[in-house]
Structure formats: C-alpha cells, structure tokens
Structure 1
Amino acid sequence: MSQTPGILFTVLAFALVIGPLVFLHELGHYLAGRAFGVKAEEFSIGFGREIAGVTDRRGTRWKFGWLPLGGYVRFAGDMNPASQPSPEWLQLPAAERAKTFQSKPLWQRAIIVAAGPVTNFLVAIVILSAFAMLFGQNRTPSVVGTVLPGSPAAAAGLQPGDRIVALGGRSVATYMDMVQFTQLRPNEQVRIDMVRDGQPRSVDAVIGTRLERDRFGNEFRIGQLGIGAAESVQVPVGVLEAPLVGLRNTADIVRMTVDGLGQIITGRRSVAELGGPLKIAQVSGERLSLGPIEFAFLIALVSINLGFINLLPVPVLDGGHLLFYAVEAVRRRPVEPQVMEWAFRGGLIAILALMLFVTLNDLGAFGVWRSLAGLIG
C-alpha cells in the first residue's frame, strides 16, 4: 500500500525546494552584478503580477510574483530579452549608463550570467560535502565478491576475485562506480574489462533489469549485472577533503544526467521519463516525508539539474547568453540585434513547448489521461 503524502504537504515541500534554489540562483546573478557596479532594478521570485515587495536603499525592488515557477534579476539597462543596447539605452545619461549591464566588458557580463548556475552547483557541493563529513565516503573496491546465479555476470563468466576496471570503455575504480553505470543501462550490451589473476581480460554482457517499487508506489527499471562486492569499505572524510569529495560527487551526478539525457535523445530511454514541475513537487513531498537527510539530498539533485539546464546553449537560458558572448568574443563584435531577437523568440517557444510536454508527461504519470479515457469510455 502506497504512503503518498497529502497535497498540502507536497506543495509545502515543493516550495521549500524551488523557492530557496531559485532565490540563490538569482542571488548569484545579483551579487556578481553588484560586484561589477551594475544596478539591479528588480529581484523577483516568481513571474507575473507582484503580490508583495519592498524597495531597498539601492533602488532594487525585491518582490514576489504570483507564478512561483522561477525568478529573475532585472539589471539597469535590460530593455529587451537579449540584453542588447537599444536607442533607449543610448539616451541614458552617462552616469546612469555606466551602471547598466550593457556597459560592462564582455568578460564581466559573462561572469554575471554564469554566476547563477555556478551558485546552484556550489549549493550542491556544500550539501554533498556535509554528507561526506557526516557519513564518510564509500570506497568499496570494484572487485567481484559474489556472482548471482543466472545473472548477466554469471552468463558472461565473471568469477569472485575479478577486478572490474572498465564498463563500456568507461573506467571504474569503486563498486559504486559500477552500480551507477549499470543502474542507468537496463537491457544494454556492455563490454566488461577486468583483471583476473593479474591478466587483463574482456567479456561482453547484457545488463539485466530489475523492477523496483518504493513505499510510495513508484516503479523504477534498474539495470544490474548480478555482482556482489567482495568487501565494504567506508572511510571517514575530513574537513579539508570534504569539498573535493563534494565536487567529485557533483561531477558524477552531472555525468549521470548527461548519460540519461543522451539515452532519451538516442531513443534508448523513453521520453515519458522526463518530468516537470508536477513530478518535482511529487518527489519533494515524498523525500520530505522520509526525513531531512533524504530531503537535503533531493535539494542537491535539483540544484545540480537547475544549474545544468540553465547552462544549456538555448536562447533565453543563461547558456544561450553565454553562447552569444562566445560568438561575440570570436567575431570581436556583438551578434546583430535582429538575429538575437529571433533567436530568443525561438528559444522561448522551445522552452514553453518543453514545459508543456513535461507537464503532460507528469499528468500521464499521475493517471489523469487513463481516468479521462475511462470517463469517456
């Protein structure tokens, strides 16, 4: 029997995840801009009509919008979505124009734009570093301890004592490296490079599939080879080492995100697995009900994904701005305003279409379409 949290609890959990992460993302932009002398006119959590706000002594309006699915910082001079100089900008007095985003050198503008996603990654690194200090780090070696009878590992001829050094051409150093690789690749063929009795060997195997169901009724297809570890090694992590461990763990999660996205693009994984705000809200409620540790780990995951998505080279996103800055650096002149305008319109349409698609996915995962079909039938 599933133990799904109530709707109010889920909404609260979603707000506790998205609200702080959006605030910190935009705070990264704000602080970088402030460091370079750019005036921020608005700092908004949420979009649309203002429901509450206050203006500070610097003239920045801090406010909440009625649609709490994001946020933004509007710097002085931001008179169009592409942040390009305009006739209105040129008419500003010199002293005011010097405080605008467009007046700053290319490298400063790039830092201001990149500061948001970087802040999201830093949040994740801090959380994962704290986990490393609290619980240590699993460094169980990638040595086969047991082989499950009838498993893909058994069919491939793996034996206890074999040391796995690579899966699918990707090097593995620990048992967790193997688990992370195989879990994302059910039913995929993989080459296993190993060392047996001091001699390198290679075998091919098809990763098996295990269907798991959690306490909330969610089902997952998990890839597995059927290998047990030879021993479990958990080592303590000190204060100085923790940030490096947090950085490595963040990089591993980014790599898994890229792998998952690549599988969806190539058709090896269903697009139905893409989730949107409704799915994040559902998972937020579930993780919060499991306790603060699970919830904090979810915040780290969402923060990483927020940073990663914003760095994609799509106009409207931070990565789109950075892409145009890179083109500007190569050409030694800005991209033409009309090109920027059409690119940002296209990017906005693409993002809205993706949001609609993942929302429809979420509704399908919640059984809405099946219920409607039943009513119509």
Structure 2
Amino acid sequence: MTVLETLAGWAGSLGGYILPFLFVLVIVIFIHEFGHYIIGRWCGIRVQAFALGFGPELIGFTDSHGTRWKICAVPLGGYVKFFGDSGAASTPDGSALRAMTAEEKAVSFHYQPVWKRAAVVAAGPVANFILAIVVFAAMSYAYGRQIIAPRVDQVIESSAAAKAGMRNNDLVLSIDGQPIESFSDMQRVISTSPGKTLTLVVERAGKEVTLTATPELKVIDTPFGKQRLGMLGIQASRDPADLKFQTLGLGASLKSAVQETWFIVERTGAYVGGLFAGTESADQLSGPIRIAQVSGQVATAGIVALLNLAAILSVSIGLINLVPVPLLDGGHLLFYAFEAARGRPLSERTQEFGFRVGLALVLMLMLFTTFNDVVHLVSL
C-alpha cells in the first residue's frame, strides 16, 4: 500500500466515522451540560467554566458573566464548573469554601439549599430526555410515519406462531389486552417477551379468535452486539392495502415522542435488570469505538437517521447519569437525599471516599466497554 493510499484510508475513516461520531456526541453532551448550566444560572450560581471535552483547552472565550466556554482536546464528555467546585466532577473544594466571604457563599454551588443543588444536578439528565422527545417529535411531525397493518402474511413452519395456531391473513387486534395498531407495535411486544406466554386476539374471517403464544428466544447480531429477542416466526403483510402513511399533528407527535422515549427507558431498565438476573449478556455494553462505528454506518442513511441515533443515545446517557454512583449525577443526588434526611451533609471524608469509589467504577466500566468494542471489531 502506498503512502497516498494510506492517507486516503485515514481520510475516509475521518469523514465516515469520526465526524458523525463527534456530531452525535457534541449534540448530546452539549444539551446535557447546558441543562446543568441554565438551571444553575437561574438559581443564582456563578458558573466558572462550560467545557466540551476534557484536558487541555483548544479554543474558548469568556462571556460577560465570567464563564469560560471552551472546547478541550479529549472529546469524550464535558462538564460545568460552578464556583466552589474543586474540579470537573463538582466535588467541593473544602479549604476554598471555608475561606469564602458571605457574598461569595451566596453564588457558590455548595452553599445553596439542597433542593437547588439537586435541581441543578438533575437538570442534565432531564435535558437529555427533553432532547430525545424534541427530536422524535420533530421527525414525526415533519415526516409522519409509515404503518403496516399487524396482519400475518406467512407463518413459518414449526415456529412459535405455528404452534399457537396462527394462520396466514390473521389480523392481530391485541396482545395481553394491549391494543395493537401496527406490525411494529406487535414486534415491540413480541421482541421484549421471550419465553413469556401471551394472549393474542386475532381477527380471522370476520371473527375474533383468542390464541396463546410463547415467543421463542433468538440471539441476533446487531452493530451494538448480540441481542436476545423474542420471535413468533411470522412475516408482515406485503399487501399494498395494509400499508398506509399517517401524518401527525403537533400533539400526536409529542405523544408519540414521549412513548418512544419511555420505551427506550423501559427497555434499558429491563436490560440492566436482566444483567443482574443473568438473562442478558454484557456484550451489548458499548463504548466510544462501537458508537463511532455505528454513527458512521447510520450517517450513510442521512441526517434524519443520525439525529434519531443522537436521540437514542441522549436517553441512554441521561439514564446512565442517573445511576446512583458517586461521580455521576445520580451519585450526587444520592448524597443530597442523605443530606435532606439527616439535616446536614455527609462529612468531607465520606464524600471523598465515595467519589474515589465512583471514579474506580466508572473507569472499570469504560475499560470493559472498550474491551467489548475491540472484541466486536476483531470478530467482524
């Protein structure tokens, strides 16, 4: 391979993977940190720095409020540094706090009432959920949605559907009492219910028929690793009469967006619960390498698909930050809950120990997900 070919390969990787990855990451991180920033400002707290990334500053400026806005060298996160913080993790600087004047305490994060500090911390994950809802709603409002009727075109022989007595041309009306309006609605219920006996009401030759079916567990390879899904073994209708395009108003788009966001939250919670129960595999946990790879693949489908990925990742990052591990937002909220219950904050020593444990856990998770990413790339 010539030097020119090598450089061309690097350029292709930059444009195809790194740039879409940075596009997605910057949107999600900026919105998360802006949530902390804007609620902090509304609470009268002085903001010293708003950073995208960690490490040495590459470019930045200081606004009229004294906040340093900057882009740093390592684009794998971000932070808002409030007055009184000792670093990016919003840990208190004990000696500096004790030396503050009354005027400085009034604008210091750590001297605010516990409810204000909790509101500032919670605002980051909440902003992530709002971003996802806005993106999903905007796409639904702008493009509508294509709906395939939940009609069975073909039942695969010896499948769970065949064992349940499903037939070609059956129209699924409900599953476990939940109305089914589209084939995708049915897929979501089935895919999240492997091994669970479901009650299906179908329309057959103008009559309602009740069936019981147990989706079979299948392991499917995806860009994020292997996923364990429930499957009945049916194919969607290909009849043009069963395909329709639905336009959505603003209210319906927002409702659909909230439902989509909640579905991601629910599935993520079920996956985490499955990890502890031993029914899910940890190889689905992904780090920056695999997210960059998926971003590059999704970018080929256009900006709408890339924004959809950003919305999904935004929900995931919001949830991760709510995990009650010191160093993450959830860990801070846990400390504030103890403070509210005790009437005084935990000791500096206890908090410092908690942050050290939290840092160790976060670093271990990063190493594990990076290892997963490398194994995934090698297996391709």
Q: Which amino acid aligns with 2:19?
A: L
Q: Does 1:131 align with 2:139?
A: yes
Q: Match for residue 354 of structure 1?
A: 365
How high is the TM-score relative to the length of structure 1? Answer: 0.85
Name stretches of at least 5 consecutive residues in structure 1 with no aligned partner: 372-377
Q: Match for residue 190 of structure 1?
A: 196
How high is the TM-score relative to the length of structure 2? Answer: 0.84
Q: Match for residue 250 of structure 1?
A: 261
Tell whether the 8 Å contact from 2:51 to 2:79 is kept in structure 1 after alignment.
Answer: yes
Q: Does 1:6 align with 2:17?
A: no
Q: Does 1:109 align with 2:120?
A: no
Q: Match for residue 95 of structure 1?
A: 103
Residue from 66, 74, 78 that aligns with 1:67: 74
Deviates more, 1:63-72 or 1:333-342: 333-342
Matches within 5 A, 1:307-322: 307-322=318-333
Separation in 1, partners of 2:200, 2:283:
35
Q: Does 1:153 align with 2:161?
A: yes
Separation in 2, partners of 1:219, 1:86:
46
Deviates more, 1:318-327 or 1:176-185: 176-185
Q: Which amino acid aligns with 1:209?
A: K
Change (3 A) 1:339 1:122: same
Q: CA deviation at 1:306?
A: 1.1
Change (3 A) 1:113 1:218: closer
Q: CA deviation at 1:343?
A: 1.3
Q: Does 1:77 align with 2:111?
A: no
Tell whether the 8 Å contact from 2:225 to 2:284 is kept in structure 1 after alignment.
Answer: no
Matches within 5 A, 1:145-184: 146-159=154-167, 161=170, 163=172, 165-166=174-175, 171=178, 173-174=180-181, 175-184=183-192
Separation in 1, partners of 2:292, 2:236:
35
Tell whether the 8 Å contact from 2:125 to 2:317 is kept in structure 1 after alignment.
Answer: yes
Change (3 A) 1:109 1:139: farther
Separation in 2, partners of 1:337, 1:325:
13
Q: CA deviation at 1:250?
A: 0.9
Q: Map Cα deviations across residues 293-344 of structure 1 (whole Å, 9 max, x no partner).
A: 2111111111111111111111111111112222222223222322221111
Q: Match for residue 212 of structure 2?
A: 203
Q: Map Cα deviations across residues 1-50 of structure 1 (whole Å, 9 max, x no partner).
A: xxxx9311211111111112211211111111011110011111111122
Tell whether the 8 Å contact from 2:325 to 2:331 is kept in structure 1 after alignment.
Answer: yes
Name stretches of at least 5 consecutive residues in structure 2 with no aligned partner: 1-10
Q: State the number of aligned residues.
A: 359
Separation in 2, partners of 1:337, 1:212:
47
Deviates more, 1:113-122 or 1:190-199: 190-199
Q: Match for residue 375 of structure 1?
A: none
SS in 2 for 1:279: helix
Identity of aligned pairs, percent? 36
Matches within 5 A, 1:286-297: 286-297=297-308
Separation in 2, partners of 1:336, 1:233:
61
Deviates more, 1:150-159 or 1:269-278: 150-159
Q: Map Cα deviations across residues 129-188 of structure 1 (whole Å, 9 max, x no partner).
A: 012112324666656565333321111223454646446xx9463432321233356xx3
Residue from 42, 49, 55 that aligns with 1:35: 42
Q: CA deviation at 1:52?
A: 2.2
Matches within 5 A, 1:211-250: 223-228=230-235, 231-232=242-243, 234-250=245-261
